[in-house]
Amino acid sequence: MVKVYKFKLVSIILIIASLLFSLCGTFDIDSYAANVKNPVSQHGRLKVSGSNIVDKNGKKFQLVGMSTHGLAWYPEAVSEKTLKTLRDDWKCNTIRLAMYTEEYGGYCTGVENKKQMLSRVDNGIKLAKKLGMYVIVDWHILSDGDPLIHKKEAKSFFKRMAKKYKGYNNIIYEICNEPNNTSWKANIKPYCKSIIKTIRKYDKRSVIICGSNTWSQDIHEVSQDRITGYKNVAYSLHFYANTHTDWLRQRLTDCHKNGLCVVVTEFGTCDASGNGGFNKSETVKWLKLLKKYKIGCINWSLSNKEETASAIKSGTDISKLKKGSKQLTKSGKLIRKWFRKM
């Protein structure tokens, strides 16, 4: 009799111990983030379905968020405090990390700069993970209009990212910010196929966003000649409200209706230069259209540079963005107001 009790007691202790052990073992940042209410815990892994981005339940999902200015110029914005304000007060679910390739301090401008960019991108990805936000890793070509120019560097960068972050359900790759003065068929498309292949070797599922010619405006060309053979591929459209108006909205509507999955991974409220021409009414027309189709919208930029596109007033500490609109520019105020009701 005593033996039976002893046996039961030992079994119970063992069961409790193993339960406790397994609880401790699974307490890592991922499962913690998955248990609290945040965009990623609620919507999970995103997919491309026809012309839409959908969440883990297959429901249409709109990516809403801010893009950093260049990570070489304004890395301070990628802080826990600022991202938290964006998430909780602005209702952003996404942060875009703009990593320039050729401009000042960019990834392709020397070994030290490359190291710095890698550590800033890693920091941004980890913070986004912690806060349960989606993160767009942006290979920000601009003056290097043809993506093939830095294809080798791009391949090694995306290989590194895909290997390291393949288990992350919040990561999105934007593989060429704004090709220009080049060709979709001969340059951009082959580049994209090659980078997608590299990423897919390690990461089978993340959403990958491709640019198009003319600073990512020529989605009509893409729509006629899409990348096939891979899932979860989307295309970016970029606009600046005072420069790109009805004609580009019409192009977006046509492509969307034609089944092309488009995400606006960068837009400004002003001129394409980023400075001057703040245009509230054209911005609102765009935002209404994006809201209607649940097309992702990421605003340029989360910086305090003295230029119209900046969301934060110059002189403000961008690593400590507070809730409310006191620290915001005209552009920032308009964007915050709209993001809160997207």
Q: Which residues bind ligand IDC (CB under 6 A)?
A: 103, 142, 177-178, 215, 238, 240, 266, 272-274, 300, 305, 307, 309
- The catalytically annotated residue of 178, 282, 306, 307 is 178
Calpha distance 244→227 (Å, rounded) = 26
Least CB distance from residue 265 to ligand IDC, whole Å? 9
Least CB distance from residue 239 to ligand IDC, whole Å? 8
Residue type, 118: L
| CB-based closest residue to ligand IDC | 274
Residue 203 or 307: the one with the smaller Cβ distance to ligand IDC is: 307
* Residues 119, 314, 174, 162, Cα dihedral to 10°: 20
What 3-state class would DSSP assign to 233? strand
Least CB distance from residue 53 to ligand IDC, whole Å? 21
Least CB distance from residue 273 to ligand IDC, whole Å? 5
Note if 266 is an active site residue: yes
Residue 80 or 306: the one with the smaller Cβ distance to ligand IDC is: 306
Residue 44 or 274: the one with the smaller Cβ distance to ligand IDC is: 274
Calpha distance 310→328 (Å, rounded) = 9
Residue 238 or 294: the one with the smaller Cβ distance to ligand IDC is: 238
Residue 129 or 238: the one with the smaller Cβ distance to ligand IDC is: 238
- Alpha carbon 66 to its chain centroid, in Å, reads 8
- The catalytically annotated residue of 102, 112, 153, 266 is 266
Helices within the chain (DSSP H only) = 2-26, 29-35, 39-43, 80-88, 111-131, 151-165, 189-202, 213-216, 219-224, 246-257, 280-293, 330-340
Least CB distance from residue 21 to ligand IDC, whole Å? 50
- Alpha carbon 246 to its chain centroid, in Å, reads 26
Calpha distance 137→294 (Å, rounded) = 21
Residue 25 or 315: the one with the smaller Cβ distance to ligand IDC is: 315
SS3 content of the chain, % helix, strand, coil (to 5): 45, 15, 40
User: Does residue 211 contact residue 266 with C-beta atoms inside 8 Å?
Assistant: no
Q: What do you get for the CA distance between the two ends of the chain, in Å?
A: 68
Least CB distance from residue 74 to ligand IDC, whole Å? 9
> Annotated catalytic sites, by residue?
178, 266
